Structure 1
Amino acid sequence: MGLLSVSTDALAHAVAQGDKGYIQEITGINLIAFIYLGAKHMVTGYDHLLFLLGVIFFLYQMKHIAIYVSLFALGHSTTMLLGVYFNVGINSYIIDAIIGLSIVYKALDNIGAYQRWFGFQPNTKAATLIFGFFHGFGLSTKIIEYDISQDGLIPNLLAFNVGVEIGQLIALAMILIVISFWRKTDGFFRHAYTANVAMMSAGFLLFGYQLTGYFVA
């Protein structure tokens, strides 16, 4: 039982243990530190990266990529900032399970499942914004659990959010470089379906681990 709890916590939408201790100890305004922590969280946040990969998988024009990434950032930033400021937290296992389902949703969208199954296409922009809200709640819940100091809270949260957006741009740039080379190969469309099925499987795995953690924690 203990090992299972450890494994589910390791897959949670969390800040690293060392960073957790740092957040709990410092007080006052620490802008650079929180920018770094925000950027580190995004670059190492596999759930964010999988969702972003799904969002841009079939987007070719930069203006379209900018729109969807901005919607995700708006949702993520809003709930992260408001959640911590107003001390609104959601059970971390539940919110991480929903984040897992957001990856499943986008992978299914990419393979055209909703059109084949239900005969309609959901609003992808609205879905990106809504799931951005859930991703933000995932982080705000963890920050609340780490009991961040009220001294300098607002500047530190804003700095953390700036770091998150910097990290998102770095991660997005790396994803775009890789996927741009892949798109130039003859096998891109042949393997796109398999890649999205793998992405969907990862989302289901995250969902299952978090539900398991909820029931055994």
Structure 2
Amino acid sequence: MNLKKIVSLLVILILYSVGNNVLAHGVDGDTQTFLSGNDGVAFGPFLYIGAKHMLTGYDHLLFLVGVIFFLYRPKEVLLYVSFFTIGHSLTLLLGVMADISINSYLIDAIIALSIVYKGFDNLGGFKRFFGAQPNTKAAVLIFGLFHGFGLASKLQDFKFDKDGLFTNLLGFNIGVEIGQFIALAFVLILITLWRRSPSFIRFSTLTNTLLMAAGFLLLGYQLTGYVTS
């Protein structure tokens, strides 16, 4: 694949997320109809909804792009993604099962902040301005917890039938992981191809700056929604 096409695809992913920030946690009409009318166990449909939601959850994906951007070893990628997965799985299940209600605008604002954090971290901002480097694994786990509450906050908008709730949530969470795997595979292929070129380091600053910009724009959108809602 041509190098310019690889860079363009990564930049488009970042810019497209900004232009479609409304969809970051949105639920389309057909899905709303199904969730509102669901009765009993529906593992398959919830699995599909979870996968689709993750593939269109641009805020989640942008954070993961930042997480894996400078990870070269498959073992490291697996480790960091596992921390993120553990975090969002716990709070997704806990949030819905325990009916922990958090304002969706505020939780999405924190998710947007996680994107800013990772872009800033990738640019070496913490060492440069504060002289210290936060524990990246702990940060990914903690932000993963917030991402899980973000997923839970949207599901809580629907009054689920308690019958089969845990099974349905399990299906949704597995679907989220499937969607995450598909998206990460695509991004990893692009980044791996790009790393073969000397331009990777040269354009990495621009890419992570755009990542931060996307996070700030999403943050502003969510805070505006919170104030005006």
User: TM class, shorter-chain normalised?
Assistant: over 0.9
**How many matched pairs?**
211
Local SS of the residue matching 1:121: coil
Identity %: 56
Q: How does 1:142-153 map to 2 (within 5 A)?
A: 142-153=154-165
Structure 2 distance, partners of 1:93, 1:110, is: 26
1:15 deviates by: 2.7
Report matched runs for 1:197-216 at 5 Å.
Answer: 197-216=209-228
Which residue does the alignment assign to 1:29? Answer: 41
Equivalent residue number for residue 101 of structure 2: 89
- State yes or no: 1:57 paired with 2:102: no
Does the CA contact (< 8 Å) of 1:23 and 1:146 recur in 2? yes
Displacement, 1:17?
3.1
Matched, 1:191 2:203: yes
Distance 1:80 1:23 in 2: 16
Alpha-carbon distance change, 61 to 36 in structure 1, aligned in 2, over 3 angstroms = same
Structure 2 unaligned residues grouped into runs of 5+: 1-18
1:36 is displaced (CA, Å) by 0.5
Give the letter aligned to residue 206 of structure 1.
L
Is this contact kept in 2: 1:11–1:209, CA < 8 A?
no
Gaps of 5+ in 1: 1-6
**Paired residues of 1:8 and 1:213 also in contact (CA < 8 A):** no
* Match for residue 157 of structure 1 among 166, 169, 177: 169
Distance change >3 Å, CA 190–CA 9, structure 1 → 2: closer
CA distance in 2, matches of 1:207, 1:64: 28
The residue type equivalent to 2:185 in the other structure is: A
Hey, what does 2:184 align to over in structure 1? 172
For 1:170 and 1:54, how far apart are their aligned partners in 2? 16
Task: Give the TM-score, by structure 1 length.
Answer: 0.94
Q: By how many angstroms is 1:20 displaced? A: 1.7
Q: CA deviation at 1:8?
A: 9.8
Conservation of the 8 A alpha-carbon contact between 1:100 and 1:206: yes
Q: CA RMSD in A?
A: 1.4
- Whole-Å separation in 1 of the counterparts to 2:94 and 2:72: 33
Look up the match of 2:116: 104
CA distance in 2, matches of 1:186, 1:8: 31
